A and B are shown apart, each in its own frame.
Chain A
Amino acid sequence: MVAPDAAAASLAAYRAAAAQDPRFAPHALDALERGPALGEGGMGQVVVAKDRRLGREAALKVIQPDLVDPTVIRRFEREAEVMARLEHPAIPPLYEAGTDARGQRYLLMRKVAGEPLSLVLRRLRAPAGVRAARMPDVLDALARVAEAVAYAHGVGIIHRDLKPQNVMLGRWGEAMVLDWGLARRHDEDAPTQDPGLTREGETIGTPGYMPPEQARGNPVGPPADVFALGAILCEVLTGHLPVEGATAVNRLLATIDGRIARPRDLRRDTPPELDSLAAAALALDPAARPTAAAFAADLRAFLRGEPLAAHHYGRRERLVRSARRRAGALLLALAVTALVGGAAAVTLRARGAQAAAEEGARLAAEARDALQRAMDLLAEADVLVARGAPARDVLGRVDAALAEGRTRFVLWAAAGVCLRTEQADRARDLLVESVDRFPPGLRELGLLHRLASSGLAGADTTVWLERLLAARAAGVRDALTCYAVGVDAGVRGDWRAAERAAGEALELDPRLAWAWELRAGARLHLGDPDGAEADATRALELEPWLPSAWQNRATARLRLGRVEGAVADLDRVIGLAPTRPEAFTSRGNAYVHLNDPTRALQDYDRALNLAPGHPGAWKGRGVALARLERRDEALEAFTRAIEADPDDADAWRNRAVLRDRLGDPAGAREDLDRTLALRPDDAAALELRGVARAVAGDLAGAEADWTRALEIDRSRANCWSNRGHARLLRGDPRAALADCDRAVALAPDSPDARYNRAQARLALEDLPGARADLERFVEVAPTHPKAANARAQLERLRMSR
C-alpha cells in the first residue's frame, strides 16, 4: 500500500525525472484540444485529441496522474519506444511522446476509427460463432493482425497481450493492433536492460489468451503471441475460448493444467482446416506452434480455398476435395450410394446368420462412412456460409448431407447450418423430425421451444415445453429441464420460482443464454430492473439473436430511465422480429419519454397495424396525441385502450385528465371513480378527483380525497395547498395555514401555494406574512387569473398601514 506522503514524494521525483528526460521534454500540450474518452486501459486513459495546429484528430494516451507506481511509468515509456520502432500498416503510428506542463506523460498516436474485435464478436455472435456473413471479413482481419505480429517478431518485439479488445477493426477494412504497453524485446540478451520491468519470471497477459508457459511465469518468446492468435481464431470460429472457466482465475488454472480445447471440441461443424490451424497455434509446446507468418499465410490460403500447411489432408479428404470441384458428379455418386444401401438392406433378410453378421458389419462400416461424408458436407456448407455463398448452394450441401443418412447427429448439425443461413423454418422442420424419430433430445426440444417462443419459427411453444417438463418429471435434472421449470413457473405468474429455477439452470450451465433471459424477465416482474438489465446483457453476449432478451433489456432500461439505450435495444428487437407489436409499443413509449411524440405515434400506428386491439399501443397513442394537442383523437385513443383492457387504471386516469381539459368535469369524475375502484391507492387520481369534487362544490368530499392522497404521498405540494384552501373556505384558517406552510416548504415558488397561504394569513391577521406571500405570488405568476385580486389585496394592505 502506498502511503499518501510517499505517493506525493514519488510523484515529485517522477516529475523531476521527467523534466530531465530528453525523450519527454516539456511540450506545449495546449495545442491539443482534448475530446471524449476512447477507452481506458489498465494504466492509462485514451482520449480523442484535436491538434489545432494541424487540424487533425489523434488518440492521446496519458498516465493517470495518481498512478505513480514507477513500473507503470516505465511501461509507458516502453510503449513509446516499442511503437517508435514499429512501422506497419496494422500498427498505429506514434506521432509524438512528451510531458505536459503538469508533468503528465503522454503518447500521441493515430486515432483508429472503428470498433474493437471484441465488440464485433459479441455483436455478430450467432447461435455459436461469428455470424456467417461476416466470417470472411473477420478472418481477413485476423490474417492482418497475424501479419503485423509477424512483422513485430521480425524486429524483435513480442506483444504479450493479444486479445480481441486490443484489435481494432477500422471502417475501411483495416485491422490495427493496439496496446503495446506490455510488449518487450525478445532479442535482448538476458538479463535485460530493465531488470525491474522485465524481471525473469514475470508474466503478463490475459487468461484465456495466454499460453501455459506465460501462465506459469516462465520466460516467453514469439510463440506466446501465436498461442494468442490461435485462441482468438478459436473464439472467432466457435464463440468460445479454448480454455474453459467462468472466471479469469479458473481459466488461468486450466491453462497451467494444459486443458486447452481445439475448436472442433467446442463446435463440431468447425471447418477442419481452420480447426487444425487453431490447434497447431494452441500447441502446449511453444516450439510446436507455427510462426505468426505461417499462421497468417494459412489463413490467407483458407480464404483463397487453397490447402493449408497446418492441416494434414487424409486420402478421403483429398478425394472429397477433388470430387467437390465436380459437385454435380458428387451428387450423382451420393444418389447411387443411397440406392445400393437400400438394396442391401432388403437382401439381408434372405441370408443365413453367418452371412448376415458379415453383412451387418459391412453395413455398419458403410453407415459410419456415410456419417463422415455427411459431416464433411455440412462442414463444407458452413465454409460456404462463411464465405458468403448464396443460400441455394449452402442448402444444396445440406440436402446432400441429409441424403447420406438422417441421423440425429446429422439433423442437429444441419439445423445449425440452416439457422446460420437464416432459414429458421427449415431448421425447425429438421428438429421436429429429429424429435419424432429419436429418443427425446433435450437440446432439440429446447431449441424448438426457443424458436417458437421468440417468433422465429413455429407457434407450438407449449408442446415443446411440456415435453421438457416430462423429461424433468422422469428425473432428468439438467440446465434445460431447470429452465423449462422456470418458464412454466413464469407462465403461471410465479416469478420467484421462475427466478430460482433460472438460477439453478445457470449453475448447471452458465452458457445457457435462455436461462439468463428468463431470469431477466423474472427480475423485471419482481421489480429488480438492475438485475434484469445485467442478466439480459449476459444473454445477449451469448446469443445476440434472441429478440426477447433485447426486449427485456429495453424494458429494464426504460425503468432505469436509460431511455436512449432502450431505444437502441428496441431497434434490435424490431430488426430481429418485425412482427412483435410490443416492441413498437415500447419504442413508442421511449420516444414519448424522449419528448418526440411524432415518432412515438408512428410506432404506435405500426403496432396497431400488427395487432389492432393492442391496449398498450392505444394508450400510448393517446398520450402522444395529447402531447401534440390533438385532444379529440387522444380521447378516442384512450377510449379504445379502455375497451381493449377495461382493467387498465392508467388508461382511465389518462382519459380523466383529458376529459377535464376538454371541459367535461362530470366525465372526468366518472373516469376517476373507475381509476380509484381499480387502484384505490393512486394518489394522483385522488388529487384529481378532489379537484373535480371541489369544483362541483363538494368541499368535504374534496378534502377527504386530498387527505387520503397525502396519507399515501406526503410530497404532493399541490395537494397540501388545495386542502389548505378548502379548509380556509370551511372556516378553519389555522389548519389551512398549517397545510399551506407544508405546500410552500415543498414548492416555494408554487403560485397557488403562496396565494392560498396569503389568504390564510389574512384570515389570521398576519398582515406582513400575507403581504410577503402576495408579493412573491405576483412576482412569480404575474399573469395568473388571481393576479389582479392579489394586486388589489396588496394595495389595500399598503393603504391600511
Chain B
Amino acid sequence: MPGRTLVTLAIDDLVRELERLPEEGFVEAARDVVHGRVLAPRSLEPYQFFSTRHYTRNLIFKNDLFELLALCWEPGQQSSVHNHRGQQCWMMMGLGRLENLNFRVHDRDEVARTCRLEPTSVIEITRDQAMSVDPDEPVHLIRNVEAWGERALSVHLYSRPFDTCEVYCPERGIYMDVQLSYWSTHGRPCAPGR
C-alpha cells in the first residue's frame, strides 16, 4: 500500500513481539502488529509441510492468549466454509497469495441447526496486505486459486485458541462443529489422527 512502510521480520520475532503484548488491549495491539509487518519467508521453512490431499495446519506457538499457525496450501486447495465464533483471527502471507470469500448467514435456526449462506465479498490476501476476519461477518472460505499455480503459506493468528470450529454445509443448509487438528507442531510432524 503506498505511503506505508512494512517491517520485515522473522516468525520468531513476531512471536516474541506478540508475547510481549499485554492481555488488556491485545486485540487492538495485535491488529497493528499484523498489519504493519511482512514475514521473512526463510524463517517459515521449519513449518512448511505440504500435502497433496488437503491444506495442512502447522502449530508455531500457543499460549492461553493466542495461537499462531502456518497453513500450507497447494494450488487448488481450499478450506471449508467455516466460522470462528467470537474468536479474533488475522492472516498474513509467508509465501504466495490466497483468496478469501466472506459469507453472511441468514435464517439461522439453532434448533434444527440449519441456515442459508450468501456470499458477500472476495478479497485477495497478499504478502503486503494482511487480513483481519470481519467480526461482524466471520464466516469465510480461503483458497489458493488453482490458476495461480503456486504454493502458498499463510500465518494465522487466533485469539483466543479454540480447538473446534463451526463448518457450514451449504448443500444441506446445515452446520456442525468440527474438531481441528495439527499436521505438525513446533516443526515436527504429528502422528496421524492427531
Which residues does A use to contact B, with CB under 8 Å? 1-2, 42-43, 66-67, 69, 71-72, 201-205, 207, 214-217, 247-249, 252-253, 256-257
Contacts and interface: CB of A to CB of B under 8 A. Distances in A.
B81 A257 contact: no
A202 B78 contact: no
B186 interface: no
Interface stretch (B7-15, B41-49, B112-120): B112-120
Nearest to A43: B107
B118 A249 contact: no
A205 B102 CA distance: 15
Contact of A42 (B85, B106, B121): B106
Nearest to A3: B110
Tell me the dominant secondary structure on chain A's binding face: loop
A247 B170 contact: yes
A253 B85 CA distance: 24
Nearest to B115: A42
Contact of B118 (A66, A205, A247): A205
Contact of A217 (B85, B121, B170): B121
Contacts of B118: 202-205
Given A202-B118, A203-B119, A217-B122, A2 B110 contact: yes
Nearest to A255: B119
Contacts of A249: 78, 80-81, 141, 170
B102 A217 contact: yes
B107 A202 contact: no
14 contacts: A42-B106, A42-B107, A42-B116, A43-B106, A66-B111, A67-B109, A72-B106, A201-B121, A203-B119, A203-B120, A204-B118, A247-B170, A249-B170, A256-B101
Given A202-B104, A253-B78, A257-B147, A217 B110 contact: no
Nearest to A64: B109
Interface string B110-148: 110000101111100000000000000000010101010
A594 to B, nearest CB: 32
Contacts of B171: 247-248
Contact of B120 (A66, A201, A207, A253): A201
B106 A252 contact: no
B107 to A, nearest CB: 5
B108 interface: yes
A1 B85 CA distance: 9
Nearest to B120: A217
Nearest to B123: A217
A216 B103 CA distance: 10
A69 B122 contact: no
Interface string B158-170: 0000000000001
Contacts of A205: 118
A217 B119 contact: yes
B107 A67 contact: yes
Interface in B137-191: 141, 143, 145, 147, 170-171
Given A69-B108, A249-B141, A216 B122 contact: yes
Contacts of B107: 42-43, 67, 69, 72
Contacts of A42: 106-107, 116
Given A2-B110, A248-B171, A253-B101, 15 more contacts: A42-B106, A43-B106, A66-B111, A72-B106, A204-B118, A205-B118, A215-B119, A216-B122, A217-B102, A247-B171, A249-B80, A249-B141, A249-B170, A256-B101, A257-B145
A254 to B, nearest CB: 11
Nearest to A215: B119
B157 to A, nearest CB: 23
Nearest to B86: A1
A340 to B, nearest CB: 48
A249 B172 CA distance: 12
Interface string B14-53: 0000000000000000000000000000000000000000
Contacts of B78: 249, 253
A217 B102 CA distance: 9
Contacts of B170: 207, 247-249
Nearest to B145: A257
Contacts of B109: 66-67
A256 B171 CA distance: 18
A202 to B, nearest CB: 6
A67 B111 CA distance: 11
B140 to A, nearest CB: 11
Q: Which of B108, B116, B118, B120 has the most CB of A within 10 A?
A: B118
B12 to A, nearest CB: 35
Interface string B45-85: 00000000000000000000000000000000010110001
B81 to A, nearest CB: 6
Contacts of A217: 102, 119-122
Contacts of A201: 120-121
A614 B90 CA distance: 69
A256 B110 contact: no
B119 A252 contact: yes
A154 B143 CA distance: 39
Given A201-B120, A202-B118, A203-B120, A253 B143 contact: yes
B170 to A, nearest CB: 4
A249 B118 CA distance: 11
Q: Which of B81, B85, B122 has the most CB of A within 10 A?
A: B122
B171 to A, nearest CB: 6
B143 A202 contact: no
Contacts of B85: 1
Given A248-B171, A249-B81, A71 B121 contact: no
